[in-house]
Structure 1
Amino acid sequence: MKKTFKALKFSSIFLLVMALFIACDKDFNSIESDVLGKDNANFNTDSLNLQILAYNKKLNSLQINGLSSNLFGVFNDPAFGQTTASIITQITPNTFSPNFGDNPEIDSVVLSIPYYSKQVGTEEGTTNIKYSIEDSLYGNSPVKLTIYRNNYFLRDFNPSSEFNETQNYFSNASASTNSALDGTNVINFEDHKGEMIYDYYDDNEQKHYLPSGKAIILKSTEGEEEVVDRQVPALRVHLDKDYWKTVIIDKEGDPALSNTNNFRDYFRGLYFKAEPINGAGNMTFFNLSSANITIYYSKDSTVDGQRTQSNYSLNFTGNTLNTFINDYSIALTNGNKTTGDERLYLKGAEGSMAVVDLFGGEMVECEDESGVITMRTPLDCFKKTYRELDENGEYLPKVNGDFPLKRLINEAHLLIYEDENADNGGDPDFHKFDRLYAYDIKNNIPTIDYSLDPTGSQNTNSNPLNSKIFSLGQRITDNNGISKYKIRITEHLNNILLKDSTNTKLGLLLSTNVNLTNNFKILDSGDEVTETPAAAILTPRGTTLYGNHQNVPENRKMKLEIFFTEPNF
């Protein structure tokens, strides 16, 4: 079987990486050529499409604390409907038992929360850096942003556990208010909101919240010279001075400011509430790990008649969680584990994923080398087809821990088609940057093909579109507008054949950052999917794929394709 390779333009370094990856591959890779000639070759190559089963898994009650970043805002997916994400977070002083000096007076209180941005050049005619937040911004309509004091205490440990386990919080996205589950109770944060600290919405002044990719420019004066400080794009607002004087400055000497536990019991955190405006909005990521509230104040100096400038900061360490409210236009349900589903709905932020059972379904006719046909499970037929057998048709014993093989897998991948009839809101590029992420649901880890893929990045926010492109192929659209994905599972299948591993099911979900591999628990899952990667939680987007149900047209069905080498000596 001939394989045709199209020339691609890569840098020399990338070509070297690819060469090393291929050279280190344990598979036997063969390309037909005229060097030996057909009659002189001592191996045969072919491809084989095997039966698989793919069905929907509705995601409920996902762990929403401990995330690496947090979604905030309102996103309208044209195919699925609206998702609203709010944030509840603790704050912690950078220093304890402060001495604010004599006669402290607050000059300003500033809240700063950076966005995830990247440098995109410099401003024309200057050396000033230009930034973009397009990769982490969904939608371009304003939202209503209100910040409240949160009066619900977010625990560090689960009181119901016997071993001081961490307290986890889970989404409750089917509710109409911002709420969460702690394993036994429903927490409605609307019932625990305190005084309003900031309101970023004014109908009269048309002051709405819409993130900007512009640098933050701060100007100050040192002597007679003006100093300009340029900072990365961020949500940066001034808070009420009198309020923070009461809750912080006036508490000097109080035990509330003496340590972390006391402070978090006294000031239990902030509630960032998002609401749509006229049914529309935007959604972005808050980088709370770099966020702070800074109180700038002056106090009496040791020099009579003079004042000294100082500041006191609070960071956003501690428990932080996202809440989601879903108002979907389609019903997401668990699929049919026996026949599979025609359409697979992948939706983030407590939405839906797909389970791909590589050898699921009914018994199949399995033909051995002698032409004898027996009814076997798809998995057993797969093993019988690829492993060496003895004269009784049983597997040969392991050699150095591996079963001997009579067929060597060169390449194996899932071929998955996008539903071209799904609503994209009139934007043909709506799904342009979508990626699919696959993981081993038995062990809740990435596939071995993912782990061996050299195109990844240790920086989880570094160019996710071009990460793991060998194992998680990028979306490809042909001249007819048909889009498809390829998920490489060569080593995953080799593990099943050689090691007799039982991880035959893969989780499939939509991701805007395939570098996010940490898994988070599902509360009372009820089936084999017990955890889901952060990649599924930290995206509001969705897509619709074709499954492998009998009603799906043959040229759109999900397929498992295996290319193998079979020695003929």
Structure 2
Amino acid sequence: MKKTIKALKFSAAFLLIVSSFIACDKDFNVIESDVLGTENSNFTTDNAVYPISAYNRKLNSLQINNLASNLLGVFNDPAYGKTTASIITQVTPTSFNPDFGENTVIDSVVINIPYFNTVVGTDDDGYSKYALDSLYGNPEAPIKLSIYQNNYFLRDFDPNSTLNNTQNYYSNASSTLNSAFTSTSEINFDDHIAATIYEEDIFTPSKNAIKTTIGEGDDAVTTRTTPAFRVVFNQADYADELTFWKETIIDKQDDPVLSNANNFKDYFRGLYFKAESIGSDGNMFLINLASTAANITIYYSKDSSVEGETIQSTYVLNFTGNKINTFINDYNLVTLQNGDKDLGDEKLYLKGAEGSMAVIDLFGNEDTNNNEIADALEDFINEYRQTDDNGEFIKNKTTGNFLLKKLINDAHLEIYEDETMPTLPVDENGDAYHKYDRIYAYDIKNNTPTIDYLIDATENSQSAFSSKIISLSQRDTVLGRYKIRLTEHLNSILLRDSTNTKIGLVLSTNVNYTNNAKILQSNDAVTAVPAASLLTPRGTILYGSNENVSEGKRLKLKVFFTEPKQD
């Protein structure tokens, strides 16, 4: 039943929208009264549900180089199974042609990589207490962590490209090895280990601040820095490791390998951080290799110009250059596969780290006799656009936009979680497992955010969870429901004849990160995915659009509109 708009019941936002529409479309400009009321308002509101097809798209061979951050560890998703993430990264000295002096001795070497963290209070001494952001799984469940010298050269440019294109590396998560693809080959990084630098058989990340003390007794000065993955190689416990760094770096003084970045990267091809499972559970976390505090610092002593004295100095290598995040997926709880494009799927599987995504085909059911437009879309356009006496669509002579007989006030996908999927009871911070998950929607044809995302003014650079909450909404923690707004997407189709592109849905923990990850040799319309979906190992299961899903939970496109009241 249609609801006639009653006097003075409009919100300010609604009046603004209607007044904007009145300015553009002449059929909506007759008010005939200074005060709107049931008898004299000349438009009504209503809503409708339109057919869509939502289906699964299994993801393979995703671009894994040069991501904004990197996952490391083991995560056992309760609905999918286990994912293991490792990292291969280049390192680069902060200075070249060093003079390490005479009788040089390495005092220690420190590898430091900050975790993403949040200050959550202060301790009894007034110092900051931290919680680790983006920590997945059980923080108390250990993993094996090894650091190797990598001997595979990570190229900057693709040697097989005639256009000097960047060399991309792609995931091979269905393998049981830490491997990656290029456009022409497969790389197993275990075959390119030059030396073992560090091994820890039982590793868990710590949320404690890093304390560093210089001096002794009353002269001691202690500084505190944010939580980090930190390995300290000292003389007492790691003599062999210090010998490695001396032979690899210090002894190369005056050698061309320390003269510039290109020479160094070819000589020392980086580090391989390898995570391995040691049980059914594990922990995984994001590390910030791009941080200015992420580095390898060699502390050394050398002879002073004053006889009998020494000078302490440092040589620093940053994690700059190519970085690759490899994944190994052991999904023993669900089989990911491509879905039914015609009938849609009953359940949609959104899984990060080379998992799965959903494709939304608005209106669906392509007309086999007319490949340019879908039957349901044609009906939708006919329902909303004005026509002349010959049945032709009418355009505004000034703007060139089509005139409408109905105004879309709001349109969104309504999506429900499968409440029967297994989940962990709480995460590291005691929150419900899927509480902070977001669903990110993008234009599959152009690999861009949706129009609604681009005009959404609620961007929050400090908190991705609270960003873009109009276009992407936040998860309804009571109903397990998401809303993805497509108001401007549909208006653009109606007003400007824009293409009705398919919409991709992925799970994201950072909706502000809109870079894409290419798919190697894709054979369908999905040629890239939002890179943010690679940076979460988590997954969720949603109800799809198939008719076997109950009406109340079925994924649907809901449109709320205004139209002139019929006499």
Q: Is the TM value for this pair above 0.5?
A: yes
> Partner amino acid for 1:411?
D
Q: Any conservation in 1 of the 2:134–2:286 contact (CA below 8 Å)?
A: no
Q: Secondary structure at 1:318's aligned position in 2?
A: coil
> Partner amino acid for 2:68?
S
In 1: Cα distance, 2:363 partner to 2:560 partner: 17
Q: Secondary structure at 2:230's aligned position in 1?
A: strand
User: Which residue of 1 is the match for residue 443 of structure 2?
Assistant: 440
Counterparts of 1:50-199 in structure 2 under 5 Å? Answer: 50-126=50-126, 128-140=127-139, 141-199=141-199
Task: Tell me the CA shift for residue 446 of structure 1.
Answer: 0.7
User: Which residue of 1 is the match for residue 389 of structure 2?
Assistant: 391
Does 2:337 align with 1:339? no
Task: Tell me the CA shift for residue 224 of structure 1.
Answer: 5.1
Q: Any conservation in 1 of the 2:4–2:43 contact (CA below 8 Å)?
A: no
> Partner amino acid for 1:129?
S
* CA distance 1:3–1:256, shift in 2 (3 Å): farther
> Partner amino acid for 1:446?
P
* CA distance 1:382–1:26, shift in 2 (3 Å): farther
Q: Secondary structure at 1:476's aligned position in 2?
A: coil
Report the more deviating stretch, 297-306 or 130-139.
Answer: 130-139
Task: Tell me the CA shift for residue 349 of structure 1.
Answer: 0.4
Counterparts of 1:16-27 in structure 2 under 5 Å? Answer: none
> Partner amino acid for 1:565?
T
> Partner amino acid for 1:404?
L
Structure 1 residues 438-461: Cα deviation after superposition (integer angstroms, max 9, x where no partner)? 01111111111111112213x4xx
* CA distance 1:160–1:419, shift in 2 (3 Å): same
Aligned with residue 484 of structure 2, among 482, 487, 491: 487
Structure 1 residues 405-432: Cα deviation after superposition (integer angstroms, max 9, x where no partner)? 1111111100001111111145592211
Segments of 5+ residues of structure 2 without an aligned counterpart are 6-10, 23-27, 29-33, 234-240
In 1: Cα distance, 2:360 partner to 2:4 partner: 27
In 1: Cα distance, 2:217 partner to 2:421 partner: 62
Task: Tell me the CA shift for residue 468 of structure 1.
Answer: 1.0
Residue-pair matches, total:
530
In 2: Cα distance, 1:196 partner to 1:350 partner: 28
Task: Tell me the CA shift for residue 125 of structure 1.
Answer: 4.7
Task: Tell me the CA shift for residue 121 of structure 1.
Answer: 2.3
Structure 1 residues 246-285: Cα deviation after superposition (integer angstroms, max 9, x where no partner)? 1000110111111111111111111100001112210001
* CA distance 1:74–1:104, shift in 2 (3 Å): same
User: Which residue of 2 is the match for residue 266 of structure 1?
Assistant: 267
Q: Any conservation in 2 of the 1:220–1:228 contact (CA below 8 Å)?
A: yes
Task: Tell me the CA shift for residue 565 of structure 1.
Answer: 0.7
* CA distance 1:182–1:22, shift in 2 (3 Å): farther
Task: Tell me the CA shift for residue 40 of structure 1.
Answer: 1.2
In 2: Cα distance, 1:388 partner to 1:547 partner: 33
Q: Secondary structure at 1:526's aligned position in 2?
A: coil
> Partner amino acid for 2:378?
D
Identity of aligned residues (%): 58
Structure 1 residues 458-510: Cα deviation after superposition (integer angstroms, max 9, x where no partner)? x4xx31211111111111143xxx41111111111111111111143100011
In 1: Cα distance, 2:229 partner to 2:411 partner: 46
* CA distance 1:567–1:222, shift in 2 (3 Å): farther
Structure 1 residues 5-27: Cα deviation after superposition (integer angstroms, max 9, x where no partner)? xxxxxxxxxxxxx9899968996
Aligned with residue 537 of structure 1, among 534, 539, 549: 534
In 1: Cα distance, 2:287 partner to 2:19 partner: 42
Task: Tell me the CA shift for residue 392 of structure 1.
Answer: 2.0
Aligned with residue 220 of structure 1, among 201, 214, 218: 214
User: Which residue of 2 is the match for residue 289 of structure 1?
Assistant: 290
Q: Secondary structure at 1:562's aligned position in 2?
A: strand
> Partner amino acid for 1:146?
S
User: Which residue of 1 is the match for residue 204 of structure 2?
Assistant: 210
User: Which residue of 2 is the match for residue 422 of structure 1?
Assistant: 421
Segments of 5+ residues of structure 1 without an aligned counterpart are 5-17, 202-207, 365-374
> Partner amino acid for 1:352?
S
Q: Provide the TM-score with structure 1 as the length reference.
A: 0.89
> Partner amino acid for 1:388?
Q
> Partner amino acid for 2:322?
N
In 2: Cα distance, 1:521 partner to 1:395 partner: 39
Task: Tell me the CA shift for residue 134 of structure 1.
Answer: 4.0
Task: Tell me the CA shift for residue 311 of structure 1.
Answer: 0.2
In 2: Cα distance, 1:513 partner to 1:319 partner: 22
> Partner amino acid for 1:210?
T
Structure 1 residues 194-233: Cα deviation after superposition (integer angstroms, max 9, x where no partner)? 21100012xxxxxx21111111011112895221111111
Counterparts of 1:216-365 in structure 2 under 5 Å? Answer: 216-221=210-215, 225-239=219-233, 240-290=241-291, 291-329=294-332, 330-361=334-365
Task: Tell me the CA shift for residue 135 of structure 1.
Answer: 3.9
User: Which residue of 2 is the match for residue 204 of structure 1?
Assistant: none
Task: Tell me the CA shift for residue 150 of structure 1.
Answer: 0.5
